[in-house]
Chains A and B, each alone.
Chain A
Amino acid sequence: MLYTQEIGSIKKPRYLIDMYKLFLNGQVDYEFLRPYIEAASLDTIRMLEGAGLDIVYDGEMHRWEMYYHPITFIDGIEVAGYVRVWDNFYFLKGRVVKRPRLIKNYHLDEALFILRQANKKVKIPVTGPYTLADWTFNEYYRLNKGYEDPVKVDYEAKYEFSLDLARNIINPILKELSKLDIFRIQIDEPAATTHPNEMDIVVDAFNKSVEGVEKDVSIHICYSDYSVLIPYLDRFKTVQYTLEFANRDSWGLGVDDESRPGYTLLRELVDYGYDFELGLGVIDVHTDKIEPPELIRDRILYALKFLPPEKIYINPDCGLRTRSRDVAYVKLRNMVRAVEMVRQIL
């Protein structure tokens, strides 16, 4: 009970970032890059195991990032260029120009490497179909649709694109991964609640992705308006919602409602009749300030008022890639210590 896990990304070591840049600029080939990836992957697996996590991954060392990596293996999506996210920060955004086709299962080698190296249960995160669609310019499905009813046209184009990604890209990847000795597959859908009127697309694309997959699949949604998600919870064919809480919480100790303002969603979930596992975010990934074990303990104890321990997994709010590896390690170590405290209490 109270399994501990990381969400996904950990900051890459400097040597790997430098080598990825050379690779992305075409200055070295993948075979040259590979040993650097594997060294960082192994180092990260050991780091997470050393922190005491029950379920580990390699912190996305095999991926440049969660969007660019998949689209380089999807025929039909081309890189359009840099689009601003904020200030002078950009991401490479793609454009879909024909029906997407999977070139290669882009998580298989990664999963096999991690399984060979890890001494703990393994989880593999996979960027979800809706987020891939939402972060891509939709040309192919929008072409020649006219100007008469733009809202309907956009919705239908998004639906078709998301479902094609689910059917042709994500589902075959998950089916192949599910044959391996992986404990859990996690679908990341950070864009899930961005467009409230598109929740039907999010649900249908997720369910199409997991169709015939013989492994438990969880879904991670963060920095979102969860009130948009709640009415749809029962429709996702998932075993676990992995959500962000700590970012919204106070830093004072206590297990009463007033001390834990970031966790009010738990009451709403119980009122809704929530019967899934919950990945409980107990670490704020956007600050270097280290949560003491006692604070994390209290966050978990508060959650236990609403859900039984066998339903709760303990994790940071999101991937820790924005923190240094040292800070990430200490935060995770404290998280594990907090769980040990709670297990003793129980």
Chain B
Amino acid sequence: MLIDMVKSFVVGIFPRSPKLINIWKAYERGEVTEEEFKDSYLEHIKNVVDIYIEGSLDVIHDPQSNWHDHFRPFTYFEGLEAGPLTRFYENNTFYRRPIFREIPKFSEAVLKDFLSKLFDSRVDGISIPGPHMWITHSIFKGVDKLRSIEILLEEVVRYLVDIGYRWVFLHEPSLVYYGDEVSRVEKLYKGLMDYRDNIVVYTYFGKVNDVLNYLGSLGFKFSVDMRWNSIRDLSSFSKGPVILGIIDGQNTLLEDPEDIKRFLVDKFGDDEIWICNNVDLDFLPYDYALKKVWILSRIGGG
């Protein structure tokens, strides 16, 4: 396999460094100024982006390290709020369920503090919850579910693409953990068809299913979690749109880059293949997340 046939990149929230964690806690206790806190955060982001660039990754994903969870920044939109702390699937990790009280009002001012693209032009990828994840994990108080999600996502994705994010990763664990009917998924994705060249449907915590096949047929690229799927499970898919989440973001065990290259050659020959982490590296301590970036870089020829 030619090395440049493997495209590799990191997806999702990158963990905070121990230094940033401590400064964050000190900031919450009122022991450092807002300026010191912001400087520290910007330094962290720059370091992570530098590492992605030096590793020649094919997508420079926004580290999003000031996102408390995937939903949180959006809960500051008018009409939305952060609800109860809830376990995130089968993990010792918790998020706040969004509560929709009315159709959310998009606000650039709210988002700007959470988007690294606005101060580092090298960044070209970002992760946000996909429509299925929104509808599965939110609480709706007297508002139309589909309509709320449709309006919210159309506006958010359009804005992200407009400001220069080339890749928008729609996190969709619920699509493969719970499954769903093709017809409902079609409704959820209808409003995003114009952006399908920019979108990757990023799935994890479950086995691939017909719904993904359907999204692939609409032209959406999607990724699969290789902790839940074997290559055998992917046999019903055309190779093109599938991205392999093969680097384990939930285990500190370090993959051997050469071992994975051999595996990819064996299974895909000379076809171009895209690989990434199977879940956010935020499930790992910072030092191990850095090691996983190095592994992805080595496999991709960086």
- List B contacts of A194 (CB < 8 A): 87, 90-92
- List B contacts of A15 (CB < 8 A): none
- Could you mark each residue 243-268 of chain B with 1 if its beta carbon is under 8 Å from any beta carbon of chain A, else 0? 00010001111000000000100000
What separation, in Å, do the CA atoms of A93 and B252 have in the docked complex? Answer: 10
- Cβ contact within 8 Å between A154 and B227: yes
Known: A80-B252, A138-B251. A86 touches B230 (CB 8 A): no
Tell me whether B276 is interfacial, beta carbon within 8 Å.
no
What separation, in Å, do the CA atoms of A194 and B88 have in the docked complex? Answer: 10
- List B contacts of A88 (CB < 8 A): 16, 21, 24-25, 28, 68
Interface segment out of the listed B195-203, B209-217, B282-290? B282-290
- Cβ contact within 8 Å between B231 and A148: yes
**Interface residues in B56-71 (C-beta closer than 8 Å to A):** 68-69
Tell me whether B33 is interfacial, beta carbon within 8 Å.
no
**Interface residues in B156-214 (C-beta closer than 8 Å to A):** none
Tell me whether B93 is interfacial, beta carbon within 8 Å.
yes
Tell me whether B119 is interfacial, beta carbon within 8 Å.
no
How many A-B residue pairs have C-beta atoms within 8 angstroms? Tell me: 82
- Cβ contact within 8 Å between B69 and A143: no
**Interface residues in A62-100 (C-beta closer than 8 Å to B):** 80-88, 90-91, 93, 95
| Residue in A81, A95, A148 whose beta carbon sits within 8 Å of that of B18 in the complex | A81
Residue of B230, B231, B246 contacting most chain A CB atoms (<10 Å): B230
- List B contacts of A86 (CB < 8 A): 68-69, 85, 93-96
- Cβ contact within 8 Å between B92 and A191: yes
Known: A80-B285, A142-B251. A150 touches B227 (CB 8 A): yes
Tell me whether A310 is interfacial, beta carbon within 8 Å.
no
What separation, in Å, do the CA atoms of A138 and B246 have in the docked complex? Answer: 17
- Cβ contact within 8 Å between A147 and B90: no
- List B contacts of A150 (CB < 8 A): 226-230
Tell me whether B104 is interfacial, beta carbon within 8 Å.
no
What separation, in Å, do the CA atoms of A148 and B68 have in the docked complex? Answer: 34
- Cβ contact within 8 Å between A90 and B21: yes
**Interface residues in A186-200 (C-beta closer than 8 Å to B):** 191, 194-195
Closest to B88 in A: A86
Interface residues on B, range: 35 or more
- List A contacts of B12 (CB < 8 A): none
What separation, in Å, do the CA atoms of A193 and B250 have in the docked complex? Answer: 19
How far apart are A81's CB and chain B's nearest CB, in angstroms? 3
- List B contacts of A143 (CB < 8 A): 253
- Could you mark each residue 15-54 of chain B with 1 if its beta carbon is under 8 Å from any beta carbon of chain A, else 0? 1101001001100100000000000000000000000000
How far apart are A144's CB and chain B's nearest CB, in angstroms? 9
Tell me whether A135 is interfacial, beta carbon within 8 Å.
yes
- Cβ contact within 8 Å between A81 and B94: no
What separation, in Å, do the CA atoms of A147 and B262 have in the docked complex? Answer: 12
What separation, in Å, do the CA atoms of A10 and B92 have in the docked complex? Answer: 21
| Residue in B94, B230, B288 whose beta carbon sits within 8 Å of that of A80 in the complex | B288
Closest to B18 in A: A82
| Residue in B91, B246, B251, B282 whose beta carbon sits within 8 Å of that of A147 in the complex | B246
- List A contacts of B232 (CB < 8 A): 148
Tell me whether A29 is interfacial, beta carbon within 8 Å.
no
- Cβ contact within 8 Å between B92 and A81: no
- Cβ contact within 8 Å between A151 and B228: yes
How far apart are B221's CB and chain A's nearest CB, in angstroms? 21
How far apart are A132's CB and chain B's nearest CB, in angstroms? 12
How far apart are A66's CB and chain B's nearest CB, in angstroms? 12
What separation, in Å, do the CA atoms of A154 and B227 have in the docked complex? Answer: 8
- Cβ contact within 8 Å between B95 and A82: no
- List B contacts of A142 (CB < 8 A): 251, 253
How far apart are A25's CB and chain B's nearest CB, in angstroms? 12
What separation, in Å, do the CA atoms of A216 and B85 have in the docked complex? Answer: 35
What separation, in Å, do the CA atoms of A92 and B95 have in the docked complex? Answer: 19
- Cβ contact within 8 Å between A148 and B230: yes
What separation, in Å, do the CA atoms of A149 and B263 have in the docked complex? Answer: 13
Tell me whether A257 is interfacial, beta carbon within 8 Å.
no
Closest to A151 in B: B228
Using a CB–CB cutoff of 8 Å, the interface residues on chain A facing chain B are: 80-88, 90-91, 93, 95, 134-135, 137-139, 142-143, 147-151, 154, 191, 194-195
A-B contact pairs, 11 of them (CB 8 A): A81-B284, A81-B288, A84-B93, A85-B93, A87-B69, A137-B253, A138-B253, A142-B253, A147-B231, A148-B230, A154-B227
Task: Name the 3 nearest CB pairs between A and B, nearest first.
Answer: A81-B285, A86-B94, A137-B252
List 19 additional A-B contacts (Cβ < 8 Å) besides A87-B68, A95-B253, A148-B232.
Answer: A80-B252, A80-B284, A81-B286, A82-B18, A83-B283, A83-B284, A84-B16, A86-B93, A86-B94, A86-B95, A88-B16, A95-B252, A134-B92, A147-B231, A147-B263, A150-B226, A194-B87, A194-B90, A194-B92
